[in-house]
Amino acid sequence: MPSLLLAINAAVLYLAAAVALALPSLGRSTLPRAVNLGLAGLAVAVHAILVFGGHGVPDLHFFAALSVVALLVAALTLLVNLARPVAALGVVVFPLAAALLLTDTLLGPPTRPQTMDWQIQLHVLVALFAYAVLSIAALVAILLAAQERALRQRHANALVRILPPLTLTEALLFRLIGAGFVLLSLTLVTGVLFVDNLLAQHLVHKTVLSVLAWLVFGALLFGRWRYGWRGKRAVRLTLTGMAVLLLAFFGSKFVLELLLHRAT
């Protein structure tokens, strides 16, 4: 089956899962949870076939990297909803994953499996998971801010109806940040151990910005533990750290590949 047809099928499944999760906020009857998660699971499975069907690590050009991260974020969103239902997260993530998959399929150059040493594969895999987990944390932070605002205004909007209680949303945020911080730490450690020249011209900015993001998330976790930081401060620091991490990876890829037409 052509990759475009598979991509369209995955996109339709993603959108169907998002609509199913959004039904309660629209005042419609809720579908069984197994149906919602089943649609998302099928979408993730088809997306994974497209990304890793070449039986190797795909080359992570700009659009392919977006698609891979979208796949991981969608898969982690599915896992989060299995453990603790956060329908609003799927409503945001699944359409975004569909859009990024179709963008890569239609606009990205053909991807080919790459041969990498296991050490570099480990470094890349850990980095992608760190980025995916912290991306979900950033989305949860945005939802948390919106939820707090709605509750302060005593306005039970559609978002509040598909989110768990505020304390559970906040607890989920810090669990994700903690897991992402550990993965980001491992990314930096494996980079030092396995990447030959971490300060090469096309890597130095990624290294510096990744360390800055690590410091931001580390400061947030320390502040949470020592001073009980929460609310707006937690949201601001989470989004700041994610913005720095976004620049570290996708900002550099955008400039080098799409503007300067250089391989990364």
- The rounded percent of the chain whose pLDDT value lies above 70 is 81
Closest by CA position to 94, among listed 113, 109, 76, 114: 76
Cβ(116)–Cβ(57) below 8 Å: yes
* Range 147-169 average pLDDT: 76
Whether 153 and 255 map to the same domain: the answer is: yes
DSSP type of residue 156:
-
Q: What is the pTM of this model?
A: 0.89
Predicted local distance difference test score (pLDDT) of residue 160: 66
- CB neighbours (10 Å) of residue 117? 9
Cβ(126)–Cβ(183) below 8 Å: yes
- CB neighbours (10 Å) of residue 46? 22
Whether 108 and 121 map to the same domain: the answer is: no
The whole-angstrom separation of Cα 119 and Cα 131 is 18
The answer on pLDDT for 1 being more than 60 is: no
Predicted local distance difference test score (pLDDT) of residue 28: 65
Whether 87 and 188 map to the same domain: the answer is: no
Closest by CA position to 228, among listed 182, 174, 160, 172: 174
Whether 26 and 89 map to the same domain: the answer is: yes
The answer on pLDDT for 221 being more than 90 is: yes
Whether 16 and 142 map to the same domain: the answer is: no
Whether 52 and 76 map to the same domain: the answer is: yes
Whether 104 and 227 map to the same domain: the answer is: no
What average pLDDT is seen over the chain?
84
Token couple for 40: 């998302």
Whether 79 and 128 map to the same domain: the answer is: no
Whether 107 and 230 map to the same domain: the answer is: no
Q: Which of 53, 83, 114 is the last residue of a domain?
A: 114
Predicted local distance difference test score (pLDDT) of residue 100: 94
The residue ranges of DSSP E strands in the chain, in sequence order, are: 57-58, 113-114
The whole-angstrom separation of Cα 151 and Cα 156 is 7
Q: Which of 114, 146, 170 is the last residue of a domain?
A: 114
Domain that holds residue 167: 116-264
Amino acid identity of 114?
Q
Which of 36-45, 186-195, 255-264 has the largest mean confidence? 36-45
The answer on pLDDT for 2 being more than 80 is: no
Predicted local distance difference test score (pLDDT) of residue 254: 67
* The total number of residues written for the chain in this structure: 264
Q: Which of 114, 129, 162 is the last residue of a domain?
A: 114
Whether 88 and 120 map to the same domain: the answer is: no
Whether 12 and 97 map to the same domain: the answer is: yes
Whether 21 and 55 map to the same domain: the answer is: yes
Task: Give me the number of domains the chain comprises.
Answer: 2
Predicted local distance difference test score (pLDDT) of residue 81: 83
